[in-house]
Structure 1
Amino acid sequence: MIGFFDSGIGGLTVLREFRKILPEYDYCYFGDNARCPYGDRDDATIRQYTEEGVEFLFDQGAEIVILACNTATAHAIRYLQQVRFPDKKILGVTIPGAEHIIEGGYRKVGVLATESTVRNRAYKERVHIIDDTVQIQEIAAPELVPLIENGVFEGVLMEQILSTHLGKFDADIEALVLGCTHYPIIRHHIESILPHIPIIDPGYESAIKFREYLIRHPEIEKNLSRGGELSFFTSGDTMSFIKIGRNILNRDITQFTFSRS
């Protein structure tokens, strides 16, 4: 089983891409909706919450966990991989997104993300490890995740917020990274404001890279259960999670709940 962790519902956009490309595997998703958003929290808290979520997924039987959250990836993945779970497999979404910037030959790229992802300079640092001449402009949009978590995908307020933040990017950016896994839900709005700018979705890029990862690591692939089963857990309101999750995945989702004491 492949586990997915996110601060809320945004990671469902990553799960959606994985299921399109690798539908045969079993997946387990945990959204920490009760404590979402993570983007305005301090580094230690983000790391603690992410550690708890990842541990929960391993306890459910996950063979590998995907941090389907840019904020969690930026602040916790190295600690989780090197210190907390050195004998487990944990992957994030920022590296595939950053690698696609290089592979696409872009020289100046915008990143729309949460405050903490921007503060951490997650994409800039990762890209500059490979090529420090690529210009990365990171802009935070803190209002977006709370709106999306409450099921607000449309409307004047959403359009105004996006127009304000997208208008901060330099006019000559060559591509825009959706630096939060919630943002593909409102991708159509972003494309209407920046119609000629290619959009990079790290969730999609992560699914592509994960398929390649499994080919390189048959010893991991052989342990993944197959059956196309999906299970879902949330620390928040179950009915709200199901309602919004159906819209993202375009299917009914099985109801599981997890409440943290």
Structure 2
Amino acid sequence: MIWLFDSWFWGLSTLREFQKIMPEYDYIYFWDSSNVPYWDKSYGEILKLTEVWVRFLFESGAQIVILACNTATACTIRTLQQHIFPDKKILWVTIPGAEKVHELNLKKVWVLATLNTVRLKAYKERVHILNNKIEVQEIEAPDLVPLIEQWKINTPNFQETLKNYLDKFDSDIEAIVLGCTHYSLIKDEIQNLSKKQIIDPSHDSAIKFKTYLQRHPEIKNNLSTWWETIFYTSWSPTNFHEIWKKFIKNINLSQIKKAQI
């Protein structure tokens, strides 16, 4: 199975990309529903929660964990990778996004993200490791998140809010990076208003992971291929069905489980 973690169900945009590119595999998606949202929590709170649940996934049998949440990645990547899980395999969604910017040989990009991702310069630092000549503008867009979560993307208020954020970027930017899984759901709206190339780290993570599996047959050969999708949540699974009906009907669901730690 391929294991994905996000703080909320918006990371299902990442799961959807993985299943488009690698539909043959089984997936487990963990959503920390009892502690949402992460984007307004402190660095310490996010680190503690992410460590607890990533540990749970590894102890439950994960060989590798895809950390789909940009905020969790920004706050935990160094500590988890270097000090807590140095011998474990974790794919961080910001890295494929930054690599895509580098591969396209862009000179100037704009990152639409949430508070901690911007404050910690998650994409800027990662892009500059690859090429420090690329100009990276990171803009936090907190007012978009509740509108997406309330599914008000077709309202005049949403269109005006999105336009106000997009008006902040310089006209000579070449691409916009979606620095939060929420924004994958409004990719078309962003592109229609901005007329810029869109880089979706969720999609790029799936592409990179497929390549990774080709280089690591010891992992690939152990992945089950029953075409199943299992969901873990940290609240009562019965609450999941209402959200499922509203937002994520197009993902094949096999089981819903409540995580026990």
TM-score for the superposition, normalised by structure 2: 0.92
- Would you say the 8 A contact 1:8–1:149 is kept in 2? no
- Would you say the 8 A contact 1:26–1:228 is kept in 2? yes
- Would you say the 8 A contact 1:151–1:244 is kept in 2? no
What is the match of residue 101 of structure 1? 101
Distance in structure 1 (CA, Å) of the matches to 2:182 and 2:217:
31
Counterpart AA for 1:9: F
Instruction: Establish whether residue 204 from structure 1 lines up as the match of residue 203 from structure 2.
Output: yes
Distance in structure 2 (CA, Å) of the matches to 1:181 and 1:79:
22
Equivalences for residues 182-261 of structure 1 within 5 A: 182-195=182-195, 197-236=196-235, 237-247=239-249, 250-258=250-258
Per-residue deviation at 1:257? 3.9
Report Cα offsets for 1:190-241 as digits up to 9, x if no partner.
122112x000000111111111111111122222222221001223531343
Cα-Cα RMSD: 1.8
Distance in structure 2 (CA, Å) of the matches to 1:166 and 1:231:
37
Structure 2 CA distance for partners of 1:255 and 1:241, relative to 1, 3 Å: farther
Per-residue deviation at 1:254? 3.9
Distance in structure 2 (CA, Å) of the matches to 1:244 and 1:56:
28
Distance in structure 1 (CA, Å) of the matches to 2:6 and 2:234:
11
Per-residue deviation at 1:108? 0.3
Per-residue deviation at 1:150? 3.4
- Would you say the 8 A contact 2:5–2:54 is kept in 1? yes
Structure 2 CA distance for partners of 1:157 and 1:239, relative to 1, 3 Å: farther
Give the count of matched residue pairs: 258
Per-residue deviation at 1:243? 2.5
- Would you say the 8 A contact 2:178–2:200 is kept in 1? yes
Report Cα offsets for 1:40-73 as digits up to 9, x if no partner.
2111111111112212322332221100111111
Distance in structure 2 (CA, Å) of the matches to 1:257 and 1:167:
43
Instruction: Establish whether residue 53 from structure 1 lines up as the match of residue 34 from structure 2.
Output: no
TM-score for the superposition, normalised by structure 1: 0.92
Is the deviation greater in 129-138 or in 75-84?
75-84
Per-residue deviation at 1:88? 2.0
Q: Structure 2: which 5+ runs fail to align?
A: none
Percent pairwise identity: 53
Per-residue deviation at 1:252? 4.9
What is the match of residue 79 of structure 2? 79
Counterpart AA for 2:162: L
Counterpart AA for 1:31: W
Counterpart AA for 2:25: Y
Distance in structure 2 (CA, Å) of the matches to 1:240 and 1:172:
43
Counterpart AA for 2:203: Y
Counterpart AA for 2:106: Y
Distance in structure 1 (CA, Å) of the matches to 2:18 and 2:32:
20
Equivalences for residues 154-173 of structure 1 within 5 A: 154-173=154-173
Per-residue deviation at 1:255? 4.8
Structure 2 CA distance for partners of 1:235 and 1:148, relative to 1, 3 Å: farther
What is the match of residue 18 of structure 1? 18
